C-alpha cells in the first residue's frame, strides 16, 4: 500500500472520497429509476412481456445489477481501495442485491417510489462510508486494488452497452444502457487516475484521451445493430484497457513504454469478450438467474435466464488479474553506492560506507 506524499494526503483523500461517493450516489439514482421506471416495462402487464421466450427479457434487471456494482465501485474508490472500505462496500453490495429482489417483488412505480428508493439508497451509502471512516484510519491508498477496479469497471461498461432486449426496439433501453455505461466509464477513469503512481500533464492527457474515446465509443457501439456490436465493442474495450493500464503503471524515464503496451492490444481484444462469453454460457447452463427471478415474483424463462451482469463482473476480475500478471515487472533493488545494490550490501555488510569505528582501513 502506498501513501500520499506528506502535506497532500488530507486534500487528496478528501477529493477521492468526494468523487467516489458522488459516483456511488449517481449509481443509486440510476438503480432507483431502473426499479421504478424500466423494470415495469418487462413485467407481464408491460408493453414487452417477460413471457417472451428470450433471455434478454431481463435487461432492466441486468442494468440495475450493473448500477449496484457501480455503487460498490464508487465506495471502493472513495476509500482508496483500502481493506476496511472495500470489505464494507462488498457487504453493502450483497445487502443491496437482497434488497433489490425484495423491492422488485413489491413492484414499486411512480415518482414517489423513485424518490423513496433514492433516499434510502443514499442513506445506506452514507452509513457505510461513515462506518468505514470510523474504523479505517489507515492513510494512503491501495493502488493495486484501484488499478483492478478500473479494469473491472471498463469491462462492465462494455457489458452495459451490449445489453439487449427481445426486440431491441424498446425506446427506454438505449438511454438506460448508455447512462449505465457512461457512469461505469467515469468510474474507470477515476479509479485509474487514483491508482496512477504519479501525476503530470502527460498522465492527465492519457486520462482525458481514455474518457473521450469512451465517451464517443460507447454511444457508437450502441448505434450499431445488436448482431454487429461485438467487433466495435472489442476494439473499444482494447483501447480502454490499454489506456487504463498505461495510466496505472510506472513510467520509467518519465514516459510510457508504448511498444511494450502495444503488445497488450491482442490480449485486450480477445480476453475480455472470451471470458464474458464463457461466463455467460456457464450462467445460462446453470440457470443462475432463475432463483432471483422466482424470488422477485416474476415469470421464469426455462433454460435462458442468464445473468450478463454477473458474467461481466467475473470477466472483469479475470481480465484485471491477467493484466496485472502480464504487466508486473520486478522492482530493481535500490542502489546504495555505485555498483552496489541493497541486496548485495546486505550480503557483504556494505551499506555505502563502513560504519564509524569498524576498524576497517580506508
Q: Taking Cα atoms as reference points, which of 94, 147, 144, 146 lies closest to residue 124?
A: 94
Contact predicate 232/213, CB 8 Å:
no
Quick one: which of 193, 200, 285 has its CA closest to 243? 193
Contacts with 274 (C-beta within 8 Å, 6 or more apart), sequence order: none
For residues 127 and 332, which has the higher predicted lDDT (pLDDT)? 127
In the three-class reduction of DSSP (H, G, I as helix; E, B as strand; rest coil), residue 289 is classed as helix
The full 3-state SS of 35-99, as one line of letters, equals HHHHHHHHCCCCCCCCCCCCHHHHHHHHHHHHHHHHHHHHHHHHCCCCHHHHHHHHHHHHHHHHH
Query: Percent of the chain beyond pLDDT 90?
Result: 51
pLDDT in tens, 152-202: 999 999 999 999 876 666 788 999 999 999 999 999 999 999 999 887 888
Mean pLDDT over 242-271 rounds to 84
CA distance 317 to 335: 36
Q: Model confidence over 312-341: pLDDT tens digits?
A: 999 999 999 999 887 665 444 444 444 444
Higher-pLDDT residue of 351 and 268 is 268
State the CB neighbour count (10 A cutoff) for residue 281.
12
Pair 299, 319: CB distance under 8 Å: no
Residues forming a β-bridge with 341: 335
Exposure b/e, 158-167, CB count within 10 A at least 16 = b: bbbbbbbbbe
Whole-number CA gyration radius for the chain: 23
Amino acid at each position: 500500500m502506498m501513501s500520499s506524499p506528506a502535506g497532500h494526503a488530507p486534500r487528496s483523500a478528501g477529493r477521492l472520497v468526494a468523487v467516489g461517493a458522488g459516483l456511488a450516489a449517481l449509481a443509486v439514482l440510476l438503480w432507483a429509476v431502473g426499479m421504478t421506471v424500466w423494470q415495469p416495462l418487462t413485467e407481464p402487464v408491460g408493453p414487452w412481456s417477460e413471457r417472451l421466450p428470450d433471455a434478454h427479457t431481463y435487461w432492466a434487471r441486468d442494468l440495475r445489477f450493473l448500477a449496484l456494482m457501480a455503487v460498490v465501485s464508487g465506495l471502493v474508490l472513495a476509500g482508496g481501495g483500502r481493506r476496511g472500505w472495500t470489505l464494507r462496500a462488498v457487504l453493502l453490495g450483497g445487502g443491496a442485491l437482497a434488497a433489490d429482489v425484495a423491492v422488485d417483488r413489491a413492484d414499486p412505480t411512480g415518482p414517489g417510489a423513485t424518490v423513496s428508493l433514492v433516499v434510502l439508497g443514499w442513506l445506506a451509502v452514507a452509513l457505510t462510508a461513515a462506518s468505514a471512516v470510523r474504523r479505517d484510519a489507515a492513510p494512503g491508498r491501495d493502488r493495486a486494488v484501484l488499478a483492478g477496479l478500473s479494469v473491472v469497471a471498463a469491462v462492465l461498461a462494455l457489458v452495459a452497452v451490449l445489453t439487449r432486449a427481445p426486440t431491441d426496439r424498446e425506446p427506454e433501453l438505449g438511454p438506460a444502457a448508455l447512462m449505465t455505461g457512461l457512469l461505469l466509464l467515469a468510474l474507470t477513469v477515476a479509479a485509474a487516475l487514483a491508482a496512477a503512481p504519479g501525476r503530470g500533464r502527460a498522465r492527465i492527457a492519457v486520462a482525458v484521451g481514455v474518457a473521450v474515446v469512451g465517451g464517443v465509443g460507447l454511444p457508437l457501439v450502441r448505434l450499431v445493430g445488436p448482431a454487429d456490436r461485438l467487433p466495435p465493442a472489442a476494439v473499444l474495450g482494447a483501447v480502454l484497457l490499454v489506456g487504463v493500464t498505461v495510466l496505472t503503471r510506472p513510467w520509467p524515464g518519465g514516459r510510457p513504454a508504448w511498444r511494450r503496451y502495444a503488445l497488450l492490444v491482442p490480449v485486450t481484444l480477445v480476453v475480455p469478450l472470451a471470458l464474458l462469453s464463457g461466463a455467460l454460457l456457464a450462467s445460462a447452463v446453470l440457470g443462475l438467474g432463475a432463483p432471483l427471478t422466482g424470488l422477485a415474483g416474476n415469470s421464469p424463462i426455462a433454460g435462458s435466464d442468464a445473468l450478463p451482469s454477473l458474467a461481466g463482473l467475473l470477466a472483469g476480475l479475470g481480465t484485471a488479474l491477467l493484466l496485472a500478471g502480464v504487466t508486473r515487472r520486478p522492482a530493481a533493488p535500490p542502489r546504495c553506492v555505485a555498483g552496489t545494490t541493497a541486496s548485495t550490501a546486505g550480503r557483504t555488510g556494505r551499506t555505502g560506507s563502513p560504519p564509524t569505528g569498524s576498524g576497517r582501513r580506508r
